[in-house]
Amino acid sequence: MAEKRDYYEVLGVPKDADASTIKKAYRKLAIMYHPDKNPGNKEAEEKFKEAAEAYDILSNDEKRQKYDRFGQAGLNGGSGGFGGGGMNMDDIFSQFGDIFGSFGGGFGGFGGGGHSARSRRVNRGQNLRVKVKLTLNDIATGVEKKIKVKRYVSCTHCNGTGAKNGKSYSKCTTCHGTGQVTRLQNTILGQMQTTSTCPTCGGDGKIINEKCSYCKGEGIELNDDVITLNIPAGVADGMQLSMSGKGNAARRGGINGDLIILIEEIENEDLIRDGNDLLYNVFVSYPDVVIGSSVEVPTLDGKVKVKVEAGTQPGKILRLRAKGIPDINGYGKGDLLVKINVWIPKNLNKEDKKIIENLKNKDFVKPGAGQSKSFFKKMRDRFSE
């Protein structure tokens, strides 16, 4: 699948463009590539959809913030089918019909009144929300999850029409299938035209002659559905992803709602996450930091040995490059930061105390002074018993 163009680039606006500029840019492209103006032109149709998708994201403050921060991955999670993509013509005319209607007479002049044919109300199903728990390993590599959800789907017995056998309906004679009625009123300023939802069909544009006995004319039924989620590497606790069209189906046809996925990160026993970096506290004995040693450190790829140089001071941070979490936008990986802590024993026997007293009286405790390694090795062995 080809990588999507930057939404700001699609609309031809700068990243700090205000809402008015974004709307104006979209209107210009919508007029240029509208399907009624470019009949049969697939390239124009794709550009029309691309512009609508860009406007859908950039005109919504919450979506725009996620896009600015995380890019496409924050909206759609890569290849899993999440996000604002896949808009069809019904989506566009349903969501942005007010913009189309404000172009000085609408698109009715393009191709013989195409806009009026699309004025019928389009139902939209409700969004669903699920919570997905992920381990640090899941987050580090990305993971495929299968979840079972109860959601409304299109009735299989009537194909979502709500009519018996999917055929027992007819075009509304009041609105002639448009779902809207137009009235002319005389006022002191002259005639004014008003448009409203058709009272006969409720905006559906059709009348059901005999209802489907399975869905009672609703066109939807509750079903258990298994959905595959492809979670990208690098997601964070509290992040929300969305799968377009995987929410509840709409009554008697229309646009499905979306599935909103809330990421919950399971706490790791050893590692602490800090952005894309991981933190680990390791405890070593006093002799180990004096004469040098090696310690075993857990990583997301298994345990590794890390060298502790002689004379390492408590609180020193050892950095293991690229042992952290991948950036969700693909900008490399974080590091694993290992903090050195010196373990001080609390309970000492007489022999232990004697060793410490000897240390106290030796010159090696002063900066620049030294002591034989064999002495410290004996002390380390004594402390590790």
DSSP conformation letters of 101-148? TTTTSTTTTTTTTHHHHT-S---BPPPEEEEEEE-HHHHHH-EEEEEE
Which two structure tokens, joined as six digits, stand for 16? 């700090």
Collapsed DSSP state (helix, strand, coil) of residue 94: helix
Residue 310 neighbours by CB under 8 Å, 6+ apart: 289, 290, 291, 292
- Please say if the pLDDT value at position 270 is more than 90: yes
Q: Summarize the confidence of residues 319-335 as an average pLDDT.
A: 93
Domain over 1-119 is classified CATH 1.10.287.110: yes
Q: Summarize the confidence of residues 7-28 as an average pLDDT.
A: 92
Whole-angstrom distance, CA of residue 370 vs CA of residue 246: 70
CB–CB of 207/170 below 8 Å? yes
Of 139-148, 154-163, 307-316, 319-328, the range with the lowest mean pLDDT is 154-163
For the chain, give every domain's residue range: 1-119, 123-168+209-266, 272-383
Whole-angstrom distance, CA of residue 188 vs CA of residue 363: 106
Of 70-79, 228-237, 265-274, the range with the lowest mean pLDDT is 70-79
pLDDT at 266: 96
pLDDT at 176: 86
Whole-angstrom distance, CA of residue 307 vs CA of residue 299: 15
Whole-angstrom distance, CA of residue 308 vs CA of residue 325: 24
**Pairwise pLDDT comparison (198 vs 4), residue with the higher score:** 198
CATH domain 123-168+209-266 topology: HSP40/DNAj peptide-binding domain (2.60.260)
| Same-fold call for 123-168+209-266 versus 272-383 | yes
Q: Summarize the confidence of residues 141-155 as an average pLDDT.
A: 94
Nearest to 138 by CA among 322, 266, 321, 275: 266
pLDDT > 90 fraction of the chain, expressed in percent and rounded: 41
Average predicted confidence (pLDDT) for the chain:
81
Local confidence band at 279 (pLDDT 50, 70, 90 cut-offs): very high
Which two structure tokens, joined as six digits, stand for 52? 């609508």
CB–CB of 130/248 below 8 Å? no
pLDDT at 101: 47
Instruction: Tell me, yes or no, if the pTM score tops 0.85.
Output: no
pLDDT at 383: 54
pLDDT at 62: 83
Of 38-47, 246-255, 292-301, the range with the lowest mean pLDDT is 38-47
- Please say if the pLDDT value at position 349 is more than 90: no
List b or e across 114-135, with b for residues whose CB sees 16 or more CB atoms inside 10 angstroms: bbeebbbbbbbbeebebebebe
Whole-angstrom distance, CA of residue 178 vs CA of residue 180: 5
CB–CB of 83/242 below 8 Å? yes
Residue 191 neighbours by CB under 8 Å, 6+ apart: 184, 185
Which two structure tokens, joined as six digits, stand for 59? 């005109």
Q: Summarize the confidence of residues 93-102 as an average pLDDT.
A: 54
Which two structure tokens, joined as six digits, stand for 64? 């725009």
pLDDT at 105: 36
- Please say if the pLDDT value at position 100 is more than 60: no
The DSSP output letter for 334 is -
The full length of the chain comes to: 385
Give the class (CATH, top level) of 272-383. Answer: mainly beta
